[in-house]
Amino acid sequence: MELLRKLEILADAAKYDASCASSGTEMRDSRDGKGLGSTSPGMGICHSYAPDGRCISLLKILLTNACNFDCLYCVNRASSNVARARFTVDEVVKLTIDFYRRNYIEGLFLSSGIIRSPDYTMEQVVSVARKLREEHRFRGYIHLKTIPEADEALIAEAGRYADRLSINIETPLEASLTTLAPEKDQRAIRRTMGRLRLKLDETAEAKKTVRRARPPRFAPAGQSTQMIVGADDANDRVILSTSANLYGAYKLKRVYYSAFSPIPDASRALPLQAPPLVREHRLYQADWLMRFYGFDADEIVEESEGMLPLDIDPKLAWALRHRDRFPLDINKASREELLRVPGFGTRTVQRILATRRTTTIRFADLARLNVIRNKVLPFIVLSDHRPQPSLLDGASLRARLRPKPQQLGFGF
Ligand code: SF4
């Protein structure tokens, strides 16, 4: 099979992995000579974030989309009727180097279906990274998907070459994984996550204590995982509490949420419809609240509802449920309290704290602080502003703050 055809199949097969933000866009190209650039057919170039926060382009592909496993939610499962392809190790290395030299990409995201055995597959994945690093002195970003059942030594070796390692937890509930992916074992997945965490901790510790010899490198960008949303009946509260457990127990850098997309010839155990994409978006916002805003998983979603509202963001929803905590005097409130004000991001809070060291913040200062005034004014007190109690307590506040519906494009 031609390399280009393999690339087409194996880049398309990798698109369900959520660790990039470029999928789902409209198809555009410049083959008619008008304009520059293309989003179709994609050919596996996606975007991700480097440890320093830079957005980088990655070649995102599978080594093969053949797989011994038959996970019901996966288009690459053994029983799926899709075109199959497999790269050799050298082909992936060549593609990565060629794309890198042409400035198409800054790194590689490599995953694979499981062929022959988890060890054999992992060895192939590691060989790509080893060749890139050792034979080609490749210094770009490498993200490798780890096969949980693979030998510990192989996973340790993967960490020597990769910037980031990830293992998909797949479903929020262990029971769903048993139904939807019977060959997978969530305990094995968690065991491997635990081992990665130990290696990451050891490396961090060695960096602090070993002064002269540099400790062996191990996945400096840490580990991440992906959870499928909407393939089982786990609600948002369950999903967020699973994420909180994963962040706490395994020090994950990120949990990615991937809205389940119906696949051809799907099992009856799967829903017929994809969840609304905005649900995935709300989960990312809630995840952000847990990681950077000091929220606990179980206070973000109302227990009796179980789901995040889709029409407003989770922080606003929390504030509307806790109106007794507002209005907050932003000239006196603590950092933790300020972070809970709808419309205040972490940078805004930093700016507020810095500004109020030298002056009292007034209404006119809000523009300089880059604050969306309509959103925050019902919740804050300034030296020259106090919201009417009827505004904060009124039933219409939610409707006032809800984003206005937008007209979708007609596609012509
Ligand atoms: S092991 Fe991975 S590639 Fe194979 S069927 Fe399951 S999810 Fe798909």
Average pLDDT, the chain: 88
DSSP secondary structure string for all residues of 332-378: T--HHHHTTSTT--HHHHHHHHHHHTTS---TTHHHHTT--HHHHGG
- Atom 2 (ligand 1): residue with closest C-alpha? 113
114 pocket-lining for ligand 1 (C-beta < 6 Å): yes
* Whether the predicted pLDDT of 39 surpasses 60: no
Name the band, by pLDDT with cuts 50, 70 and 90, for residue 404.
confident
Out of 114, 124, 227, 270, give the residue to mutate to test ligand 1, the one with the largest number of ligand atoms within 8 Å of its CB: 114
Atom of ligand 1 nearest to the CA of 76: 8
CA atoms within 13 A on the CB side of 73: 27
| Inter-CA distances, 279 with 66, 237, 239, 262, Å | 31, 12, 12, 16
CB-neighbour burial class of residue 187 (10 A; exposed 0-12, middle 13-18, buried 19+)? exposed
Local structure of 218: helix, strand or coil: coil
Model confidence pLDDT, tens digit, residues 316-335: 999 999 999 999 999 999 99
State the distance from the centre of ligand 1 to the C-alpha of 125, rounded, in angstroms: 15
| Inter-CA distances, 316 with 27, 51, 309, 366, Å | 34, 29, 10, 19
Measuring CA to CA, which residue among 207, 200, 257, 201 is closest to residue 228? 257
State the distance from the centre of ligand 1 to the C-alpha of 75, rounded, in angstroms: 8
Residues with Cβ < 8 Å from 302, sequence gap 6 or more? 321
Residues with Cβ < 8 Å from 315, sequence gap 6 or more? 285, 289, 293, 295, 340, 342
Measuring CA to CA, which residue among 61, 79, 82, 63 is closest to residue 71? 79
CA atoms within 13 A on the CB side of 12: 14
CA quadruple 340, 343, 346, 352: dihedral sign: negative
Model confidence pLDDT, tens digit, residues 237-281: 999 999 999 999 999 999 999 999 888 888 888 888 889 999 999
Q: Which residue has the higher pLDDT, 9 or 46?
A: 9
State the distance from the centre of ligand 1 to the C-alpha of 89, rounded, in angstroms: 20
CB-neighbour burial class of residue 48 (10 A; exposed 0-12, middle 13-18, buried 19+)? buried
69 pocket-lining for ligand 1 (C-beta < 6 Å): yes
pTM of the model: 0.87
Longest dimension (CA), the chain: 71
DSSP secondary structure code for residue 86 in this structure: B
* Structural domains of the chain sorted by starting position, each given as residue range(s) with its CATH number in brackets: 3-223 (3.20.20), 314-401 (no CATH)
Structure tokens at 247: 């962040």
Model confidence pLDDT, tens digit, residues 127-181: 999 999 999 999 999 999 999 889 999 999 999 999 999 999 999 999 999 999 9
